[in-house]
Amino acid sequence: MHEQARDVPQPLKGLRVVEFTHMVMGPTCGMVLGDMGAEVIKVEPVAGENTRRLLGAGAGFFPMFNRNKKSIGLDLHKPEGAELARRLCETADVVIENFKPGTMVKYGLDYATISKTNPKVIYASHKGFLPGPYEHRTALDEVVQMMGGLAYMTGRPGDPLRAGSSVNDIMGGLFGAIGVLGALVQRGITGKGMEVQSALFENNVFLVGQHMLQYAVTGKHANPMPARQSPWAIYDVFTVKDGEQIFLAAVSDAQWNVFCDALGFGDLKAEPSLATNNQRVVERPRLLKALQERLALRSADEIAAIMEKAGLPFAPIRKPEDLYDDEHLLATGGLADVKVSDGPKAGETVKTTLLPFTMAGARLGVRLDPPRAGEHTQELLEGLGLDDTRIAHLRTSGVVG
């Protein structure tokens, strides 16, 4: 166990989660439960989940979303493998899956089958769509962003653009975990489990709900973010000295006055036509041009120091890798060590991000590194009562890995 996780609260300690997942959505749900102390068992193909071998933008998926888990390799296509998986589910408090509709039924690993022998089980399915006309479709984060209005809102007019993170996959897993936690509370009252479902499309619709309601209450459609009518005059990215960029905002009349005082723009503060926020919004093109010309002479660091001292909103423009050097994350323990399990850096230690909340004043850390494929197969099969001879036979026949 990692030293950093020894004294961290584990509210779900003693809970067993069996996870049939891949990619991001299902693994996120399992990671959340694992971070909170549950024993999470990841059931993988004998050769390991394919996500382990992704390149490019997918290279971070497995090490990010599979900490605090154990791995068992089972070939579900073989009757003995599926039977072992069902036996494992009989010991579970929670089962998680995110495969295509009908997949788990083929192996007798669906909720209806498992709940017959384990009525207390909470079964969390993560799909592209909740049951309905679209449920047969194959979904990806990008698919639902396009059909669910998020890509429209993110890109320029006529140029839909997916958000720069797997937002629906990650949040879909989070909502799955929220559903599991609610079901656990209910089970504590009734003694019975239930099925929980989370879906990419419905998650995306929830994310754009604020824009749907904007239309419902105003009768005007929401413009894409790059073309939106900003309710604030100063809420923009400015290019400053040496081509650096910084986001600056002043979202009230009081902040405008402080902004002008801090940066020495007394002449702008004194203009009657810029006295109120709505007046400044009307004058926005002229105002932004004037501010851009003045700010271009100063460095981003200088402006940031002025804004911070004045208590005004600001943000440097960073790349994801820049966050490894963020003083706040480093000072508050927002990053934790994990050992990479696959690829050219297998065995090396890198930093990962933790869940963005504290419990009893502590961040929930890493107890177990992302597992090697089948790392805990022996331990888990012994827990089901199999002896070494039987396990060796199953390995030889390719049922387990």
pLDDT tens digits for range 63-75: 999 999 999 999 9
Q: What is the pLDDT of residue 392?
A: 97
Q: What is the pLDDT of residue 1?
A: 61
Q: What percent of the chain has pLDDT over 70?
A: 99
Q: Which residue has the higher pLDDT, 5 or 212?
A: 212
Q: What is the pLDDT of residue 230?
A: 86
> Could you report the per-residue pLDDT of 319-345, keeping only the tens digit for each?
999 999 999 999 999 999 999 999 999
5 band by pLDDT with thresholds 50, 70 and 90:
low
> Could you report the per-residue pLDDT of 195-254, keeping only the tens digit for each?
999 999 999 999 999 999 999 999 999 999 999 888 899 999 999 999 999 999 999 999
Q: Which domains does the chain have, with CATH numbers?
A: 3-208+337-396 (3.40.50.10540), 230-320 (3.30.1540.10)
Query: Is the pLDDT confidence value at 138 over 70?
Result: yes
What's the predicted TM-score (pTM) here?
Answer: 0.95
Query: Is the pLDDT confidence value at 82 over 90?
Result: yes
Structure tokens at 161: 């653009």
- How large is the average pLDDT for residues 74-78? 98
Q: What is the pLDDT of residue 198?
A: 98
